[in-house]
Amino acid sequence: MGMQLEKPKLFPHKKVFVWFVFIFIALIIVRLSFLYMEYREFISKPFYYTNASVIVSYKKMKHGNRYMVLKLKSDDGFTFYTTTHRKENFNNKRLRLQIFPNEDIDFKDYIGTFYVKSKIKHQEKIPFSKKNMLMLYMNMQHKNSSMASLYNAIFFATPLDAKLRNKIALLGISHLVALSGFHLGILWGLIYGFLILIYRPLQQRFFPYRYALIDVGIIGMALLGFYVWFVGFPPSLLRSYAMVLVGWIILLLGMELLSFSFLTSVFLMLAIIFPYLLVSISFWLSIAGVFYIFLLLQYNKTANKRVVTLLYIPIGIFVLMLPIVHAVFATTSSYQLLSPIMSLLFVPFYPLAIFLHLVGMGSLFDNGLMYLLSLSTQGSEHILPLWIVFIYILLSIWAIWEKKLFYVVFVLASVYGVALFI
């Protein structure tokens, strides 16, 4: 029996990896320094004119007064909230605004999302886009607005209303509704699998010297990239696409793929190109999720692959992510224990839902989904103190090199889960 050659590592020596991290951290600091200078100039202005597209608008009540909250994406690159007492519909609108920056806007909010007072000077309707047409076609298939909103979120990364978002959080399926690497992985499998069926016969007959991983991979990456652009570059989806792209390149080079150095490299590169990701909760949660997947895979290399895929990964991620998630989100319900099962069921459901909407039968699962959303109506609030989460994260990172510590981390997360749900 011949020995299987080990794939070369992404970084052949630790010293090379350390230098890589050091250089990229320095570049991130330089990038943030320039952004900080822009920020200081921005808040020093008494007012600022900008054109912006409305991402979402909703009504709110305070002290008996009704007003509109608008979330906007400026042509100048920043995202912000503002309010207005105008009563018209601002969906699919572009606005010309006079905004009034001040010292209350801190740097973290500036590179993320901040609130600023404004005056609307002009508004115009955004022309109906291909995305709007697809959403309208899909919405017409649902009698219930909640179902339309749910599928809009799953397919187009649109925001959910607060009531529906709370129901989804109580079921522990927020990660299934918010577009992320989970969705991109399913789409990659569908696209690559479909294209390879077409490619193989052509390859055998006309170009047997070509490599499917290169040819089909290029088309697949282009289609995924178009989709990420089409839905507006959600942070978690952007991180996932970068990982798939870099991972595909590493596979072509024949190097080791599932490594923490790979995850670190993608994180640092994204932080330089898109610094706003550093203040995105969804981005950090997606990084944490991939980290724990790698940790589980590292210590289950000899286990049966089906067992790992169907049991270890869904349950392991759910348990290990509990302390991380509850550092940010307090909502807790016993129905969240169904999350691993729902994650597995989502794998066939997602492509089937896409197909059903394409053929005009998107409402097929509406009754079942409405029943599912009606199960959990009440929950409790549990936030884990940040100092405990910080210790948990340090132990998790240390567990990369110590297998026994990995089991300690898993036991700690399990004990916390028992205390949380029982």
**pLDDT (tens digit, 9 = 90+) per residue, 333-354?**
888 998 899 999 999 999 999 9
221/189 Cα distance (integer angstroms): 11
Q: Is residue 35 part of a domain?
A: no
Give me the helices (H) in 361-402, please: 366-375, 386-398
| pLDDT (0 to 100) of residue 233 | 84
Same domain for 122 and 217, yes or no, is no
394/320 Cα distance (integer angstroms): 13
Q: Is residue 304 part of a domain?
A: yes
Q: Is residue 32 part of a domain?
A: no
| pLDDT (0 to 100) of residue 408 | 96
Boundary (domain end) residue, out of 77, 110, 127: 127
Same domain for 322 and 250, yes or no, is yes
- Surface-to-core class of residue 392, CB atoms within 10 Å of its CB (0-12 exposed, 13-18 middle, 19+ buried): buried
CATH number at residue 110: 2.40.50
User: Which residue(s) pair with 380 in the sheet?
Assistant: 332
| pLDDT (0 to 100) of residue 1 | 42
Boundary (domain end) residue, out of 127, 146, 181: 127
| pLDDT (0 to 100) of residue 253 | 78
| Residues spanned by the domain of 109 | 45-127
In the chain, the amino acid numbered 337 is L
Same domain for 209 and 337, yes or no, is yes
| pLDDT (0 to 100) of residue 150 | 93
Q: Is residue 141 part of a domain?
A: no
Q: Do the beta carbons of residue 268 and residue 242 sit within 8 Å?
A: no
Number of domains in the chain: 2
- The count of C-alpha atoms lying within 13 angstroms of the C-alpha of 150, restricted to the half-sphere facing its C-beta, is 27
Element (H, E) at 399: none
250/257 Cα distance (integer angstroms): 6
Locate 79 and state its tokens. Answer: 């995202």
Q: Is residue 142 part of a domain?
A: no
Q: Is 41 helix (H, G, I), strand (E, B) or coil?
A: helix
Same domain for 287 and 371, yes or no, is yes
Boundary (domain end) residue, out of 127, 147, 163: 127
Same domain for 185 and 76, yes or no, is no
Same domain for 82 and 174, yes or no, is no
Q: Is residue 138 part of a domain?
A: no
Same domain for 189 and 88, yes or no, is no
Record the pTM: 0.88
Q: Is residue 87 part of a domain?
A: yes
Same domain for 107 and 187, yes or no, is no
pLDDT < 50 stretches in the chain: 1-4
Same domain for 259 and 335, yes or no, is yes
Same domain for 188 and 87, yes or no, is no
Q: Is residue 390 part of a domain?
A: yes
Same domain for 118 and 174, yes or no, is no
Same domain for 116 and 236, yes or no, is no
| pLDDT (0 to 100) of residue 27 | 96
